[in-house]
Amino acid sequence: MTDVWASLRDARLALVKTARQLEPAQWDARSWCDGWRVRDVLGHLVHLAEATQASMARDVLTHGLVPERALSQVATGLGTLHPNELLSRLEAAAGGRFHVIGSPAVVTVGEAITHGADMLRPLGVVLETDPAIVASVLPVYVRVRRLVFHGSSLGSVRLVATDADWAFGSGAEVTGRAVDLLLVLANRRQAVGDLSGPGLPALTLALPTPER
């Protein structure tokens, strides 16, 4: 990827443009994130886009020192705001560059793509994403999935993108669009149905209970 931050900004703005078309009732629908509505996922994205290292540290300290719990509380709190306000805030903060210290910056692009799917796919909306951009995120997600998403080894599976020049692993093949492979690496079991190949059973076994 030639410009991580430009790709992140573009992903956020594309999500804003698509999400502005949602009907009021859709904002209260269940997302792919356990316990979060569509509007809560948007709140989480706003939180990440607006965050600085200092503000994130303050938010975690304020909400009990457990990062996942803190992020959930902030997301659901922001989710009580009107979606139009949240969309305007995400648009304004689309250039935000917060990421966890020590993590590759490209992870932020994966977060935007994954959480966009968390919001929209339960509603039957697929947000089109440049496969080349997704392919630049895939190697990092392969590296961090066991720590971040608690997945098992992918040693017996070969993942092959059908719309980008990317493949990983050896063994029985699983093929699909780069974005669907990314979602599965991020432990979104719901995307397994968009993949194909003899390696699907082994891949499914490598996926733990879904988490954010």
- 49-65: average pLDDT: 92
Structure tokens at 123: 């509603």
Q: How confident is the model at residue 2 (pLDDT cuts 50, 70, 90)?
A: low
Tell me what pLDDT residue 212 has: 41
Asked if 121 and 184 count as a contact pair (C-beta separation under 8 A), the reply is no
Average pLDDT, the chain: 92
What is residue 89's predicted lDDT score, i.e. its pLDDT?
98
| Degrees, nearest 5: CA angle 206-175-161 | 110
From 34-48, 69-83, 148-162, 186-200, the region with the lowest mean pLDDT: 148-162
Among 85-94, 115-124, 129-138, 139-148, which is the least confidently predicted range? 139-148
Whether the predicted pLDDT of 123 surpasses 50 = yes
Q: What is the pTM of this model?
A: 0.93
Closest CA to 110 of 71, 143, 136, 74: 136
Q: Which of 46-60, 92-106, 149-163, 191-205 is least confident? A: 149-163
Query: Is 33 buried (19+), middle (13-18) or exposed (0-12) by CB count in 10 A?
Result: buried
| Segments in the chain forming alpha helices (H) | 4-19, 38-50, 53-62, 67-78, 83-92, 107-120, 131-148, 178-185, 200-205
- Match 């993590």 to its residue by tokens: 103
pLDDT band, residue 205 (cuts 50/70/90):
confident
What domains can be seen in the chain, in order of their start residue?
A: 4-123 (1.20.120.450), 131-205 (3.30.1050)
